[in-house]
Structure 1
Amino acid sequence: MEIWWANTNNTLDNNSSNLAIGFTSSAISVILFGSNFVPVKKFDTGDGMFFQWILCASIWIVALVVNLILRCPKFWPLAMVGGCVWATGNITVVPIVKTVGLGLGLLIWASTNLLTGWASSRFGFFGIDPEVVQRPYLNYAGAGLSALSAVIFLFVKTEVKSTTLESEITPLLGTSINSDGNAATDESWVDKLSPLQRRIIGSVMAVVAGVLYGSCFIPVLYIKDHSKNNESIYAGASQFDLDYVFAHFSGIFLTSTVYFLIYCMVMKNRPKVYPKAILPGFISGFLWAIANCCWFLANNYLSAVVSFPIITAGPGLVAAMWGVLVFKEIRGNRNYLLLVLAFCIVLSGSLLTAFSKT
């Protein structure tokens, strides 16, 4: 009897510790994901190709440090595929921010990200095992409420100021520096769009980015699930999600480098390079990398079916607060009321998802 009681207490303590680590990691991810683009918000990043390459370089450096701390766990190339998928979605971030704003853009892609990641984990798409929670009805309700918030956010109107207008903000650089040393205007294709075109194109790109973001963890989950099969090439693979960070982030950096080289060729070796975007880009990449490492931890201690609704819906709240309080992209009592309603729905969805695990 005493042994049974001791084992029961140990199990409860372990479960409590796992939940504490998982939800703490989720909270850190939410804050950093909602804030990681703030350092570059008022700097002109042009078409975003140079910026995204700097961002991904910073991400890879963080991954290298994490890999050394973990004593270089086995490298699985398949985990790089998730990084490739993420990097493909990431090249749309700067145009999205320029067209519909940081707050609304992040909210749209986060909601699409939520549905894609949650559904693939819950129902076992793409060859991964479906994940089970103790209270599935709460999990369904939480995911549904988080998705409903996306519909409300679509009705929130944003006012995005162009970074090329000196009367509005201090620009990064009056001209971009090209390989031949000649000055070129920093006006991008986004600046030529009408307000309606910006909203439509930005929203569509945000949805596409969300689908790609929501699929990026599938290769890691696939490796972990098939590691239990002795006949699989992944037999014996680690069950600790953070062991796959280096491979995942290497895929991000490799893909972003390929895209940047293609961009340089398309631009006839005259890419638009913005020197002052380098430091903000590195800071943004550092924040994102830490947030994503915490997401890996949340997946490990909570499971993806629980972490996805929380971590993908939560950053929208943080980003919207930046958009309201600092960047003044969202104004008017109607928009404020819609945001409050959406916030309540997202919060309710996150709490229901959390309770479905306990």
Structure 2
Amino acid sequence: MSSNGTDLTIGFVSSSVAVLLFGSNFVPLKKYDTGDGMFLQWVLCAAIWLIAVVVNLILHCPKFWPFAMVGGCIWATGNIAVVPIIKTIGLGLGILIWGSFNTLTGWASSRFGWFGMDAEEVAKPVLNYVGAGLSVVSAFIFLFIKSEIPNNMRSVDTTPLMTDHVINNTQDSCPDCSWVDKLSTTQQRTVGCSLAVISGILYGSTFVPIIYIKDHSKRNDSIYAGASQYGFLSGVLWAIATCCWLIANHDLSAVVSFPIITAGPGFIAAMWGVFIFKEIQGLHNYLLMIFAFFIILTGALCTAFSKI
């Protein structure tokens, strides 16, 4: 197999692993009461940092550029909204929406060279445009899918061992509930969809500092000259899935990997939402979801073939 063929194989295999892991990443959150998500954010980032350290050691500790940490800040900002999104519109629908807007932002910044990055070229640009466009179309279809969030986040036995007599009857009936739990159904859907869109745009901007460093590492007059092409330790690593994504970026280029990896996890997450958590129900919602999946699949295939 030629070198180019080997790179493509590694890129697509890495993309597949990333899709599977990204689509299942937040499944554990469905089994626990995560409150407003701030403690979860700290634990999640700590776990990601540990994986990043291990990967960095495997790569013999290439020089670290602080600018890459900006990508981590962008990712963490978008990730703050994960718990409210899952609580309001569900795991499946949340990832589907933010994945689609992630696709648009990440693809466009790479394809057109935004933020000082080098514009990436593909062999068949029309197919690439069609693939990215279909991923965006799927996002708007997902907005019309209604999700039902079962109220089973808390343990069945919630009776405290000791209770105090309540003198003030006007006290909040649910003092431990987060602000998300107090929203009406309409407010939850509005907030959830809006946060998913914002998170998707932020997620799509996560790799900008890393790609910027990689692009400028090839220029002798740049301060990033000679920087590692595998700049993993950036604070943005999303454990193994993100490592696979960065490998796919290297072997396929971001303009190809973004539409595939950002759209694909939605399918995995939706399967969790349909068969395990029962978030999406009803023939109308099923038909919309299947139609959107076909659009995603077509878009991913168009994007993949645009590189060949």
Is TM (by shorter chain) over 0.5? yes
Instruction: Report how far residue 225 of structure 1 moved.
Output: 1.3
Alignment-derived partner of residue 316 in structure 1: 266
SS class of match (1:234): coil
Instruction: Report how far residue 165 of structure 1 moved.
Output: 5.4
Alignment-derived partner of residue 194 in structure 2: 204
Distance 2:154 2:185 in 1: 16
Out of 115, 118, 142, the residue aligned to residue 107 of structure 2 is 118
Alignment-derived partner of residue 45 in structure 2: 56
Distance 2:216 2:154 in 1: 54
Instruction: Report how far residue 40 of structure 1 moved.
Output: 1.9
Is 2:34 the partner of 1:45?
yes
Report the TM-score when normalising by structure 1: 0.80
Alignment-derived partner of residue 257 in structure 1: none
What amino acid maps onto 2:179 in structure 1? W
Alignment-derived partner of residue 158 in structure 1: 147
What amino acid maps onto 1:311 in structure 2? I
Alignment-derived partner of residue 257 in structure 2: 307
Gaps of 5+ in 1: 1-11, 176-183, 253-287
Alignment-derived partner of residue 93 in structure 1: 82
Indicate the RMSD between aligned Cα atoms, in angstroms: 1.6
Alignment-derived partner of residue 299 in structure 2: 349
Q: Give yes or no for contact 2:31–2:153 (8 Å, CA) kept in 1.
A: no
Higher helix share: 1
SS class of match (1:46): coil
Distance 2:235 2:153 in 1: 35
Gaps of 5+ in 2: 161-173
Out of 229, 233, 247, the residue aligned to residue 234 of structure 2 is 247
Q: Give yes or no for contact 1:114–1:214 (8 Å, CA) kept in 2.
A: yes
Q: Give yes or no for contact 1:146–1:313 (8 Å, CA) kept in 2.
A: yes
Alignment-derived partner of residue 124 in structure 2: 135
What amino acid maps onto 2:302 in structure 1? L
Q: Give yes or no for contact 1:104–1:158 (8 Å, CA) kept in 2.
A: yes
Cα deviation, 1:32-56, whole Å, max 9, x if unaligned, reads 0000111121210000000111011
Distance 1:164 1:344 in 2: 32
Alignment-derived partner of residue 270 in structure 1: none
Distance 1:193 1:154 in 2: 19
SS class of match (1:245): coil
Alignment-derived partner of residue 288 in structure 2: 338
Cα deviation, 1:183-218, whole Å, max 9, x if unaligned, reads x94311011100000000111111110111000101
Alignment-derived partner of residue 165 in structure 2: none
Cα deviation, 1:210-260, whole Å, max 9, x if unaligned, reads 11100010101111111222221111212x2xx3111234xx7xxxxxxxx
Q: Give yes or no for contact 1:156–1:335 (8 Å, CA) kept in 2.
A: yes
Equivalences, count: 295
Is 2:239 the partner of 1:289?
yes
Q: Give yes or no for contact 2:71–2:234 (8 Å, CA) kept in 1.
A: no
Report the TM-score when normalising by structure 2: 0.92
Q: Give yes or no for contact 2:33–2:154 (8 Å, CA) kept in 1.
A: no
Q: What is the aligned-residue identity percentage?
A: 64
Alignment-derived partner of residue 327 in structure 1: 277
Cα deviation, 1:9-61, whole Å, max 9, x if unaligned, reads xxx61011000000000000000000011112121000000011101100000
Distance 2:235 2:110 in 1: 18
Alignment-derived partner of residue 226 in structure 2: 236
SS class of match (2:232): helix
Distance 2:232 2:39 in 1: 23
Distance 1:80 1:43 in 2: 30
Instruction: Report how far residue 133 of structure 1 moved.
Output: 0.4
Out of 184, 193, 200, the residue aligned to residue 194 of structure 1 is 184
What amino acid maps onto 2:176 in structure 1? D
My pick for the range that moved more, 152-161 or 228-237, is 228-237
Alignment-derived partner of residue 20 in structure 2: 31
Instruction: Report how far residue 161 of structure 1 moved.
Output: 2.0
Instruction: Report how far residue 323 of structure 1 moved.
Output: 0.4
Is 2:105 the partner of 1:105?
no
Q: Give yes or no for contact 1:111–1:150 (8 Å, CA) kept in 2.
A: yes
What amino acid maps onto 2:298 in structure 1? S
Q: Give yes or no for contact 2:32–2:154 (8 Å, CA) kept in 1.
A: no
Instruction: Report how far residue 293 of structure 1 moved.
Output: 0.6
Distance 1:343 1:124 in 2: 29
SS class of match (1:73): coil
Q: Give yes or no for contact 1:145–1:348 (8 Å, CA) kept in 2.
A: yes
